[in-house]
Amino acid sequence: MNTNFDVIVIGGGVVGSAAARELSRYNLRVAVLEKELDVCNGVSGHNTGLLHSGILNEGNTLRMECCLEGNAEFDQVARELDVPFKRCGKLIVGFGEEERARLETLYQRGIESGIPGLQMIDAARVQELEPNAHADFALYVPSAGILDPFLYTIALAENAVMNGARYYFNQEVTGIERADGLYRITTVHGVFTARWVVNCAGLYAFRIAEMLGFPGYQPKRVKGQYAILDKKTGKYLGMPLYPAPNEYGACDVHVTPTVDGNVLVGPTIEQIGDGIDYSVTQDMLQVLVRQGGKMFDYAKRDYYIRNYAGVFPTILDPRTGKDLDYTIETKPEAPNAVNTVGLNSPGLTCALPIARRIVKKIQETEPLIPKETFRPTRKGIVRFAEQTKETQDALIRSNPDYGEIFCRCECVTRAEIKEAVHNILGVETVSGIKYRTRATMGRCQGGYCETRITAAIQEELGRKKEEVLLNQIGAYMFTGDVK
């Protein structure tokens, strides 16, 4: 295995994958080291799936600059990378004079920051836009959208690989040394060398920063819990609904449709200790039921199909006591290292703008030569469920595997599962198949298809029962054969 690269990106989340994809535009040998077994197992896979407008961010920050840039270009990005995306807009709803004043403040700040199309609208217009919203008035943000966070991250990573980048999974970085103008990166399973290192380690970026010589970043662990509602509720919600900011300026639990027709309720917000903890708790579930129900009549437990939690990669700014702004930095004491920290929400929206700024940092030191063979486009797995009956029939006639429904709830076929099992990144977990196809994401939560998926992993890849993993090393599915 050749482990010598021009640039090594540490972390294969949405930012690391965007960086790899943007770097793959140039004549560089690029590798991504990811500690998990897939690209969206951290922050990139535990979020709300929003294309943010920037309305909730303060102006004059790098975060706002990246958000506006990322928001504006996303129609094109979604087309290029075949990412499910809908620019549906969003509503921040309010009642009473106090909330009206807070929304007016947001509106003014948004106008000053250059967020396009903002409107304060009355109850009648709210009803027109979103018949199931409850509001006296609202701030309408037409530039907001929803996207599939898993498929976006996967698309960036796949496009990077198509253009020559290499992904190494299960490679948690344990040490970084610099000698003879090269970085020597030790992981739990190997040693890699590179001329450049880019830190895109998300929740663990502070740790990699320290290894690279950017010490002193303090993470602040903020967790958000969510409920996912049955697709039966999707037709009642066309765009995200947020409550007006509370007295601390934060929005409580909101409801967000997904591109696939589910509805997300959340996140709750709580500060947690140092460890990363994706558990869902009884008290926060009650908050979701209570606050979600206020926003949306269908946010009821009857429609719950799953819960999850995410942790924001927030860094505390010791000078201000506030959250640190996006930080993309180099310094002479750490040559050929690009450090990023504080890449908090909206990371999905900002990933490509951040990636371009990372490339620019490298270009400040050395010229990069564009690669003539670079192709910016990538095609995802064709979704049988979303085709017309004529196309479905044609697909089956071209490949009988399309005629076998593996996942009943989401109508995913054997052909799609097989394509996912043989994905270009080499991911072979059950959750990897799920993110790529939606199989197991429906209301039966894999009751029908999971046996088929695990069988496909065994058959297609020649794996033993004990080798089939849910999502990570140690998360084994089976103990072996029945006697």
Partner 1 sequence: MENRDVVIIGGGPAGLAAALELKKGGIDDILIIEREKQLGGILRQCIHDGFGLTRFGQTLSGPEYAQRFIDEVLAMGIEAMTNATVIDLSGDKVVTAATPKGLIQVQAKAVILTMGCRERTRGALAIPGTRPSGIYNAGVAQSYMNLFNTMVGREVIIMGSGDIGLIMARRMTLEGAHVKAVFEVLPYPSGLPRNIEQCLHDYGIPLYLSHSVCEIMGDKRITGVKVVEVDSAMRPIPGTEKVFSCDTLILSVGLIPENELSLAAGVELDWRTKGAVVDENLQTNVPGIFAAGNVLHVHDLVDFVSLEAEALAKGAAAYLKEGPLEKCAIEVGMDAGIGHIIPHRVSGTKDFQISLRVRKPVGKCTIMVKQGETVIASLSLPKAIPAEMIQFPVKAEKILTGERIEVSVHVK
Would you count residue 226 as binding partner 1 (CB under 8 A)?
no
Binding characters for partner 1, 387-426, by CB under 8 A (x = yes): --x--xx--xx--xxxxxx--xx-x-x-------------
Positive or negative, the CA dihedral 291, 132, 228, 424 is negative
Dihedral angle of Cα 330, 331, 332, 335, to the nearest 10 degrees: -40
Q: Which of residues 431-470 bind partner 1 (CB under 8 A)?
A: 443-448, 450-451, 454-455, 465, 469-470
Our CB check for partner 1 shows the closer of 254 and 452 to be 452
CB of 381 to partner 1, least distance (A): 17
What residues act catalytically? 52
Would you count residue 480 as binding partner 1 (CB under 8 A)?
yes
Instruction: Report in angstroms the alpha-carbon separations of 406 from 11, 64, 332, 422.
Output: 32, 43, 55, 16
Looking at residue 215, its amino acid is P
Our CB check for partner 1 shows the closer of 135 and 227 to be 227
Identify which range of 96-104, 256-264, 277-285, 343-351 contacts partner 1 by CB under 8 A: 277-285
CB of 419 to partner 1, least distance (A): 16
Q: What is the DSSP string of 219-246?
A: EEEEEEEEEEE-GGGGGG-SS-EEEPP-
Our CB check for partner 1 shows the closer of 274 and 333 to be 274
CB of 450 to partner 1, least distance (A): 6
Our CB check for partner 1 shows the closer of 82 and 401 to be 401
Q: State the Cα–Cα distance between residues 247 and 99, nearest whole angstrom.
A: 9
Helices (H), 375-429: 389-398, 414-421
Would you count residue 383 as binding partner 1 (CB under 8 A)?
no
Q: Token pair 């890699």 is at which residue?
A: 192
Query: Packing angle between helix 450-461 and helix 414-421, nearest 10 degrees?
Result: 50
**Site for partner 1 (CB under 8 A): which residue of 287, 305, 341, 355?**
305
Instruction: Report in angstroms the alpha-carbon separations of 24 from 62, 164, 370, 384.
Output: 24, 7, 9, 31
Would you count residue 272 as binding partner 1 (CB under 8 A)?
no
CB of 432 to partner 1, least distance (A): 13
- For the chain, the distance separating the N- and C-terminal CA atoms, rounded to the nearest angstrom, is 39
Dihedrals φ, ψ of 461, to 5°?
-110, 0
CB of 272 to partner 1, least distance (A): 13
List contacts with partner 1 (CB under 8 A): 227-228, 277-282, 285, 301, 304-308, 384, 389, 392-393, 396-397, 400-405, 408-409, 411, 413, 443-448, 450-451, 454-455, 465, 469-483
